[in-house]
Structure 1
Amino acid sequence: MPSPWKSRSEREPRRPPASDAGRGPAGPGPREELRLYGLNAVRAVFARRPDAIRKLYLTEGRIPALQPLLKWCVAHRVGYRVVEEEDLHRLAASAHHEGVVADVLRVEPTPLSAWLRDLPDGPQCAIWLDGVGNPHNFGAILRSAAHFGVAAVLLPKDSTLALSGAAARVAEGGAEAVPLVRLGRSDNALAQLRGAGFTLAATVVSGGRDLFATAPPARLVYVLGAEGEGMDRELASGCDLQLSIPGTGAVESLNVAAATAVMLAAWRARA
C-alpha cells in the first residue's frame, strides 16, 4: 500500500488554483461542492459521510491529528496535499482554517414533506429561520441546535441561506448533525407542521409571553427573525404563540444566535 504521506515535491503549489474547488467536466461542479475548513468541521464530515470528501489540504503540523482521515484518503484514492499555512489562507479565504481545508459534496436541503414523513413520534424541536443571513450567526445556531438535539433547521422557500465554510467552522461539527429542510409557501408549511402536531412559536423582542413562564409543547417550532429587520409581521402573527426572552432592558435584545441558544435550553429543560 502506498505511503499516506506526500513528499515535498508533491505538495500543493504556493498559489493553489481557484478551480480546485470544483471538479473536471465529468464530475461535480463548484455549486455541488462546499469548501470546508476547521478541524471539527472536517472531522464531522469524515465521521458521518466520508464518501463526500473530494479533496483535502492540510499543514504538516496537522498530519498526526488527521492520520485516520489521511489513511482513508489513500485507501479510497482521494487526493490530498500537504501545504503551507499561507496556502490555506488563500484556499479558505480565512485565517481561521485551523490547518485543514476540504472540498466536500454539498447536502441539499430536504423537502418539508419528506422530513415530516420520516420524523419519529414524540417530542421534537425545530428552528424556522426567517431572513437570517449572517454565516457566523447561522453557524452558531447550528452548533446550539446540535447540542440540544434539534430535529432540523427549516429554511423558507425563497431563502438564500446555505451552509458555507464560515458557518460550518463556527458550527464546530454541528452542521453535519442537524438536517436543513426546505419549506414551501409559508401558509402551506404552517399547515403541514400543525398537521404533524407542531406548535409554532414566534420569538419577538417584546410583547410576547415570558419564555421562562411558558411550558413549551412537546413538538415545537421556534420561528426566529432576521438579525436587523426582525421577523416578518404576517408570519409572526400567524404563529400559535409569541414568546419573548425577559431581561434587564439594558440592551434591546439578544442577537439571533444567542436567542436561539436560550430558547433551545428552555425547551430541552421542560420537554
Structure 2
Amino acid sequence: MTENRWKGGKPATPSPWKSRSPQAERQVAPAVPREEAEQDPPQRVIRPAGEMRLYGINACLAAFARRPGQLRKVYLLESRIAELKPVLAWCVKQRLGYRVVENTDLDKLTGSRHHEGICFEMLRPPALALADLLAAQPAAPDPSLLIWLDGVGNPHNLGALLRSAAHFAVAGVIVPKSSSLDLSGAAARVAEGGAEVVAMARIDDQQAAISSLRTAGYTITATVPRDGAGLYASRIAPRTVLVFGAEGEGMNKALIETADQRLTIPGSGIVESLNIAASAAVVLGEYWRQQHAH
C-alpha cells in the first residue's frame, strides 16, 4: 500500500473508510464536541473558516434544496444512498467528495448519536445585519413578525424555536453580537429544516436596534413569566418583535422596561414558567391565530 502523506511530508494514517468518489480521499476531520453532557469532554475542532457540519435528514435536505452551491462534502450510511441519489449526483457533477461510512463514524463526525445517517459539510450562512433583515421585510403597516433572543444560549432550545418560527412564518431572529448563540449542527437538526428559512441577524447596540425597529413600525413585546398582560386577553400588533429571555436569569431589565408591551402566558402556577422553546411556540401560535382568525 502506498503511504499517504500530508503536504509537510509527515506520514498520515490511511483512512479506513471507503470512498465512492476519487475526490473524497482526504482524511476525515476531527470529531466535533459531543452534545451529550455525560460523554467525553469537548475537543477543539479545527476546520476551514466558514464551514460547519449539518446532520439530520430534514436539516441536510433543506440546506441542499436552498443552497446546493455551498455543499462541500457528504458522509452517509449505505442505507441512505437511495434517498440521497439527487445529492450524490450533484456531488459527482460538481466533483465533490462523498463517503459511505459506518454509524460509529458518523457518531464521531457529528459528536452526536442523533445524526440520522447523514452529515453534510457546508459553508456557514452569512451573518445578517439588522438593516439587511429589515430591508427584506414588507413595508409598514403590513404584518411582519420578528423574534429577539436575550441571553438564550442552548443550541437545542434555538433549534426548537427555529422550528416553531418556521411553522408560524417568523421572518427572522435577532441576537446580540456578544451572544454565544449561533447556528450549529445540533440546532439545525432540532429545527428540522427551519434554520434554512428563518434568518438570523446580530446587533451591536441594543438601543439603536430598538430605535431602528420602531422606525420600521414594529411594536416591541417582551414575554415575561409574571406581571405581564395575559397573552389571550391581549392584542399582538401585526408588526411585532417578540422578545424572549433565557430561563433562570431571564432578559435584562433595561430591555423589559423599554418594551412597548409585556405579555405573560397564563397557566396553573404549579411551575414558574415554560422553557424558551415552549414559550415561543405558545406565543407564536396565538399571534398566528389573531392574524388569521376570520
TM-score of the pair, normalised by structure 1: 0.90
Establish whether residue 99 from structure 1 lines up as the match of residue 111 from structure 2: no
Shift of 1:29: 5.2
Establish whether residue 55 from structure 1 lines up as the match of residue 67 from structure 2: no
Aligned match of 1:239: 259
Partner Cα separation in structure 1 for residue 136 and residue 197 of structure 2: 16
Identity, % of aligned positions: 51
Establish whether residue 195 from structure 1 lines up as the match of residue 215 from structure 2: yes
Aligned match of 1:3: none
User: What amino acid maps onto 1:147 in structure 2?
Assistant: H
Of 126, 134, 149, the residue aligned with 1:116 is 134
Shift of 1:109: 2.0
Partner Cα separation in structure 2 for residue 9 and residue 55 of structure 1: 14
For structure 2, list consecutive stretches of 5 or more residues without a partner in the other structure: 1-16, 33-45
Aligned match of 1:136: 156
> Is 2:18–2:99's contact at 8 Å kept on the other side of the alignment?
no
Shift of 1:62: 0.4
> Is 2:150–2:251's contact at 8 Å kept on the other side of the alignment?
yes
Shift of 1:116: 1.3
Alignment RMSD, CA only?
1.9
> Is 1:16–1:87's contact at 8 Å kept on the other side of the alignment?
no
Instruction: Point out the structure with max Rg over C-alpha.
Output: 2
Shift of 1:77: 1.1
Establish whether residue 75 from structure 1 lines up as the match of residue 93 from structure 2: yes
Aligned match of 2:167: 147
Deviations 1:151-187 (A, max 9, x none): 0000113112100100000000000010001123111
Partner Cα separation in structure 2 for residue 171 and residue 188 of structure 1: 30
Shift of 1:19: 8.4
Deviations 1:94-116 (A, max 9, x none): 00000000110001221011221
> Is 1:112–1:184's contact at 8 Å kept on the other side of the alignment?
no
The 3-state SS of whatever aligns with 1:18 is coil
Partner Cα separation in structure 1 for residue 202 and residue 29 of structure 2: 33
Establish whether residue 65 from structure 1 lines up as the match of residue 77 from structure 2: no
Aligned match of 1:5: none
Shift of 1:9: 4.4
The 3-state SS of whatever aligns with 1:161 is coil
User: What amino acid maps onto 1:236 in structure 2?
Assistant: I
> Is 1:143–1:171's contact at 8 Å kept on the other side of the alignment?
yes
Range with greater deviation from structure 2 (119-128 or 88-97): 119-128
Q: Which has the higher helix share?
A: 1
For 1:161-176, list aligned pairs within 5 A: 161-176=181-196
Establish whether residue 45 from structure 1 lines up as the match of residue 57 from structure 2: no
Partner Cα separation in structure 2 for residue 149 and residue 197 of structure 1: 18
User: What amino acid maps onto 1:167 in structure 2?
Assistant: A
> Is 2:133–2:201's contact at 8 Å kept on the other side of the alignment?
yes
Aligned match of 2:35: none
Aligned match of 2:200: 180
User: What amino acid maps onto 1:184 in structure 2?
Assistant: D
For 1:226-265, list aligned pairs within 5 A: 226-265=246-285
Establish whether residue 32 from structure 1 lines up as the match of residue 50 from structure 2: yes
Of 108, 126, 137, the residue aligned with 1:90 is 108
Shift of 1:72: 1.0
Partner Cα separation in structure 1 for residue 137 and residue 216 of structure 2: 9
The 3-state SS of whatever aligns with 2:49 is helix
Deviations 1:218-241 (A, max 9, x none): 100000001221110111111101
Distance verdict in 2 for CA 1:41–1:247, change over 3 Å: same
Aligned match of 1:156: 176
Distance verdict in 2 for CA 1:99–1:54, change over 3 Å: same
Partner Cα separation in structure 1 for residue 79 and residue 47 of structure 2: 30
Distance verdict in 2 for CA 1:91–1:9, change over 3 Å: closer
Of 10, 30, 33, the residue aligned with 2:19 is 10
> Is 1:37–1:98's contact at 8 Å kept on the other side of the alignment?
yes
> Is 1:40–1:173's contact at 8 Å kept on the other side of the alignment?
yes
> Is 1:216–1:267's contact at 8 Å kept on the other side of the alignment?
yes
Aligned match of 1:209: 229
> Is 2:229–2:263's contact at 8 Å kept on the other side of the alignment?
yes
